[in-house]
Amino acid sequence: MKIDVLALFPEIVAPALKTGILKRVQDTAKLTVNLHNLRDWATDKHKSVDDYPYGGGAGMILKPEPIFAAVATLNPRETAHIIYLTPQGIPLTQGLAESLSLETHLILLCGRYKGVDERVRDKLVTTEISIGDYVLSGGEIAALVLIDAVGRVLPGALGDYESAHVDSFSQDLLDHPHYTRPAEFAGMHVPEVLLSGHHENIEKWRYAEALKRTAKHRPDLLQKLELSEEDIAILKAAGLVEPTK
Ligand code: ADE
């Protein structure tokens, strides 16, 4: 996969590409990330990329010409998936990251100020994506989040061990608690079942903990699932009411 990032501050993205899984997927040629400064496509002598909004109001708008010129250079065969990062986009989810990981070429357009001229969205952008219901000072950090989420699920990115040990329910529920040594720390004990070596009981315990944590923190996720009698019993025993459908 190739990802081109088009931004006013591409240097925000650069450091995170040099470590961990993102470094590994690039080193093994599964992913190429190219960072581009939108200002390189500015046409006037001041290299301006933004201008005042028609109709008045506060804030500046990214001009269409540099963005159209950049995309013409980066996407001559018009085969790329062009993503505009904006709080007005569809939410980035694990499912969306996984489907994007099947693409061969993404162009990530990062907004700044009040965003881009609407003609960019009308003519160039394939998908608008938001990383959450809050406003960042620009799309660069959102682009980095997307690159990370997509990069780590590229085929072969996670080692066999990591992929094989993903719990079967990890897609739908929040994660269960994790512990490492020591078994007792500052008077706090690791749950006995985890020390038992009884794999079936450990899986049951993890599932119940994931279910309870999801009910507590993200009841909206539970509403999408078909809960079994056993699930409902677990939630009731923990004093977490069964979510209404
Ligand atoms: N740009 C500014 N805020 C954003 C957000 N929440 N998601 C994606 N892009 C953004």
- pTM comes to 0.94
Domain-embedded: residue 161: no
- Whether 54 lines ligand 1, by a CB cut-off of 6 Å, is no
CA atoms of 196 and 111, how far apart (whole Å): 52
Decide: 41 and 66 in contact? Cβ < 8 Å.
yes
Bridge partners of 69?
none
Which atom of ligand 1 is nearest the CA belonging to 85?
9
Kindly report the protein residue whose alpha carbon is nearest to atom 10 of ligand 1. 86
Ligand 1 centroid to residue 207 C-alpha, Å: 33
- Do 113 and 29 fall within a single domain? yes
Domain-embedded: residue 163: no
Decide: 43 and 52 in contact? Cβ < 8 Å.
no
Domain-embedded: residue 40: yes
Domain-embedded: residue 88: yes
- Do 13 and 129 fall within a single domain? yes
CA atoms of 151 and 135, how far apart (whole Å): 24
226: domain CATH number is: 1.10.1270.20
Name the pairing type of β-strands 127-130 and 61-62: unpaired
Give residue 200's Cα distance to chain centre.
32
- Whether 139 lines ligand 1, by a CB cut-off of 6 Å, is yes
Q: State which of 83, 85, 110, 129 you would mutate to test the pocket of ligand 1, scoring each by most atoms of that ligand within 8 A of its C-beta.
A: 85
- Do 195 and 76 fall within a single domain? no
pLDDT of the residue at 164: 52
Domain-embedded: residue 162: no
Which atom of ligand 1 is nearest the CA belonging to 129?
8
11: domain CATH number is: 3.40.1280.10
- The amino acid that residue 38 corresponds to is L
Domain-embedded: residue 132: yes
- Whether 144 lines ligand 1, by a CB cut-off of 6 Å, is no
Sites in the chain below the pLDDT cut of 70: 160-170, 242-245
65, 55, 71, 145: which is closest to 109 by C-alpha? Answer: 71
Residue 185: what are its φ and ψ, rounded to 5°?
Answer: -140, 125
CA atoms of 81 and 75, how far apart (whole Å): 9
- The amino acid that residue 129 corresponds to is I
- Do 32 and 79 fall within a single domain? yes
pLDDT of the residue at 243: 56
Domain-embedded: residue 164: no
Ligand 1 centroid to residue 201 C-alpha, Å: 42
Q: Which helix (H) or strand (E) holds 71?
A: helix 64-74
- Do 207 and 89 fall within a single domain? no
- Do 194 and 95 fall within a single domain? no
Domain-embedded: residue 166: no
- Do 48 and 135 fall within a single domain? yes
211: containing domain: 184-237
- Whether 134 lines ligand 1, by a CB cut-off of 6 Å, is yes
Domain count, the chain: 2
